[in-house]
Amino acid sequence: MLNRVAITDALRFWEIGRIGYNLALAGLAAIVIGVTGVQWRDWIAHGPLLVVCAVVANILYCAAYPIDLFVQASDFGAAWRRWRWALWLTGTLFAAMLALLTLAALVLGAFTD
């Protein structure tokens, strides 16, 4: 059953995890920006697109909440709480892959003359 304890547990886990998620994506972006040799002013010109991508990434991060609450309410709740970090890691790696593809598209497409 969905209750206050399960909701609090989900919020605590996923919101703490969001810090690592955002740091991973920001770190990846900083590495790509640093190694491409593209001038900062060129990246700043694409700032609005990068902000939209960051917002979309955080909205997609919220998809974990219903999954977490559903499984917590099942008979597998105790085991799930021990293993949900695997969902976090998988989602973070998937988001990093999408971010890398997006940044590569910007570098290869928008910054070539």
**Residue 14: domain span:** 4-110
CB proximity list for 104: less than 8 A, separation 6 or greater: 32
Tens of pLDDT, residues 11-58: 999 999 999 999 999 999 889 888 887 777 777 888 888 899 899 999
Total tally of structural domains belonging to the chain: 1
Task: Tell me the CB-side half-sphere exposure of residue 108, using CA atoms within 13 A.
Answer: 6
Whole-prediction pTM value? 0.84
User: What tokens appear for 12 in the block?
Assistant: 């605590």
Report the Cα 30 to chain-centroid distance in Å: 15
- Between CA 42 and CA 39 the distance in angstroms is 5
Tens of pLDDT, residues 67-112: 999 999 899 989 999 999 999 999 999 999 999 998 888 877 755 5
